[in-house]
Structures are given as C-alpha cells and as structure tokens.
Amino acid sequence: MLATLPLLEATDFPAIRRGTLDTLQVNLGYKCNQRCLHCHVNAGPTRTEMMSDELCDLIPEILTRHQIKQLDITGGAPEMHPRFRDVVRAAHALGVQVIDRCNLTILDEPGHENTAAFLAEHGVMVVASMPCYSADNVDKQRGDGVFDKSIKGLQELNALGYGVDGSGLTLNLVYNPQGASLPPNQQSLEADYKRELLAHFGIVFNQLFTVANMPIQRFGSTLISKGQFHDYMDLLKANYASANLKEVMCRSTISVDYEGSLYDCDFNQQLGLRLPGEGTPNLRDLLHADFTNNPIHIADHCYGCTAGQGSSCGGALND
C-alpha cells in the first residue's frame, strides 16, 4: 500500500503558460509486464485500466485538427493495449512521428515476438527505459532478470536498424537515478553508456535521456517510508534553475489519460491535476478547443523538471 504523500499543490513555483501544441502524449493504460520502483504511474501486471476503442479512434482526428508533430504513446506497457497497433498505423499514415515508450522486456513476452519488427516497419521512435549499463543496478530497480531481457531487446532492435547511423530508426535510452538524487550530467553519462554497451554487448543507440524521479506515486511513497521525502524536495528546490522554465515539456505537450482527461504533463496526470479551466477538459474537447496561452497547473513536483540540468520526457533541458 502506498504511503500518504504530502500535498504538493500549495507551491511557490513560478506561474507559466502553454505555448503551441506540438506533442500529444497518450497513456493507453496502466497494465505492464513489470513493476518498477521509480514508476510514477504505479503500472503493473494486475492493473486493468485501458483506453476505450472510442477514444483510440479519436486520436487521428486530434492529430489532424491540431497539426500535431509527435504522438508520444506511453503506459504501462503501451504495446499491451489491443489497439496499440491501430493507433500507430493511423498516426504513421498521417505523417506524424510516433514515439513508443518501451520497457524493452515486452519485446520478449508471449504474443509480442514481432513487436520490434512492427515498430521498425512504421518508423516508430523507440524510447526505452535503461537505468544503468550494469545488471545489478538495473535488476535492483526493475526486478530480477530485467537487465538480460533488456539487452536482448536492444540487440533485436539494433538488428532491425534501430540506433544505426543512416537507418532512420531512432533508439533513445532513458536513465532514472536509483534513489533520492539528481541525474548526473547527461552528455557524460551518455558517453559511458555508449562505451559500455558497445564494448560488452555490441549495442548502439542514438541518445541517452536523463530523467529526474518525481516525488509522486510509487517513488514518492518510497521516499516517505524511508523518511527522505522532505530532503528530496529540498534538493529539488535548492537546485532550481530558472533557465529551464522556457523549455519544460508542459509548454508544448498535452497529456491524455486512459479515460481521455487532459493534463499539462504526465506527472500532473498521476496527481489528478487537470488542465486549468472550467469543467474537466477531455480528448473530445481537442476537436474544437485551443489551449494556447492557457495557464499551466503547477505544484511542488514541478521543481523536478527544473532542477539542475532540467528534466523532461526528452531528457535534460540544458545539457
């Protein structure tokens, strides 16, 4: 059971507003074949929440209406949603860049053996969680045996051309710290990853994204149980960098949960902090609404995106 987290919404974080929408991030559901300690959505094998067929069918209309450049599909393990491939095909047909937030181990699950080939066929950008290049650290954070399965998944993606120069198939990895600390320098860590993964496993990839752990949901609860929550919040606030404000992902992204509700980011989604305004904005509203220049719903966890190098779904903001 999750520990009760302190109220984050009473904050002194600076007020910010949305810019032009260029990325639609859609959470297809919380079902996942893993249960990672740092997971901010509490995904796992027993979760049953899934986006409806009706909402899945709306996504291509939204992409067209707003001329959206990127569809960022997440979960859970988004590939476990029965309509995942339909959504990818529709977005690809519209010329939209699709991003799959892949945990790598799903590629080895029964029924998903040809998922990597499907992703390559449709030019999907793969963003894969890989919290370290050593087995002990990965398995400690994500579960026994996850490292070996992740390496197998990366090698399968490489064999299809992912991460290989000139292939047009992008493979980016994601690093999360194991505990209550800020990520290290993204460029330096990327160099370490590329050296170690190539030397030991023959693996290549495009970029490494360093992402700060947010003090919410499963990770926040762990901080509470260890008596580290307030120290971690102090760390985030002490390392606040105002230069990161102009680059935070909430300015150009709208996050959609499996029920179709709209949020400024994936983290607000997990806290139930919907887009500001009257009513409860829903995916259907994007057929006619424009949220440009609207205020962004802020809370104390926003310091996680602006501390140090900054943090977003695309890694550090100033690396």
DSSP code per residue over 266-289: HHHHHHT-BPSSSS--BGGGGGT-
Strand-strand pairing, 262-263 and 207-210: unpaired
Q: Which residue has the tokens 């993606």?
A: 157
Please, which residues bridge with residue 307 across strands? Answer: 240
DSSP assignment of 3-23 equals PPPPP-SS--PPP-B-----E
Per-residue pLDDT of the chain (319 residues; tens, 9 = 90+): 455 556 566 689 999 999 999 999 999 999 998 776 556 566 788 898 999 999 999 999 999 999 999 999 998 899 999 999 999 999 999 999 999 999 999 999 999 999 999 999 999 999 998 877 877 666 666 666 788 999 999 999 999 999 999 999 999 999 988 789 999 999 999 999 999 999 999 999 999 999 898 888 778 888 999 999 999 999 999 999 999 999 999 999 999 999 999 999 988 988 889 998 777 889 999 999 889 999 999 999 999 999 999 988 888 887 6
Q: Are 78 and 101 in contact (CB under 8 A)?
A: yes
Q: Are 32 and 43 in contact (CB under 8 A)?
A: yes
What is this structure's pTM?
0.91
Q: Between the CA of residue 244 and those of 104, 184, 264, 306, what are the distances in Å? A: 30, 16, 16, 5
Q: What is the pLDDT of residue 1?
A: 42
**Which domains does the chain show, CATH number per domain?**
23-306 (3.20.20.70)
Q: What is the pLDDT of residue 138?
A: 67
